[in-house]
Amino acid sequence: MRPHIHPAYGPVVYQDQSTGDRFLTRSTATSRETVVWTDGNTYPLVTIDVTAYSHPFWTGGARVLDAAGQVEKFHRRYGRRG
């Protein structure tokens, strides 16, 4: 790899905006905010909207779409053919 062209890759704490849960990982993301982690070190804090802690697929809150209702809505809007 060519030197000095890649972003810095290091530890970052991500925080779920809706639940407040945090996890430590490595990333090239940067932030001006910092947080003291449980190991006593200070890391950049990146706040994001959705993580596995709040995503409906991972929390079991996924909803089932009514496919029959969508078909009827389509037929009402555009009519039936044949």
What's the number of domains the chain is made of?
1
Read off the DSSP letter of residue 21: -
Q: Provide φ and ψ at 61, rounded to 5°.
A: -100, 20
- Mean pLDDT in residue range 68-79: 81
Q: Does some domain include residue 67?
A: yes
Residue 66 counted as domain residue: yes
- In-domain check, residue 3: no
User: Is residue 33 a part of any domain in this protein?
Assistant: yes
Residue 33's Cβ-side half-sphere holds a number of Cα atoms within 13 Å equal to 9
Q: Does residue 1 fall inside a structural domain?
A: no
Domain that holds residue 56: 10-78
In-domain check, residue 45: yes
- The pTM assigned to this predicted structure is 0.66
41 located within any domain:
yes
Q: Give tens-digit pLDDT for 57-72.
A: 766 666 666 667 777 8
Helix H or strand E encompassing 27: strand 22-27
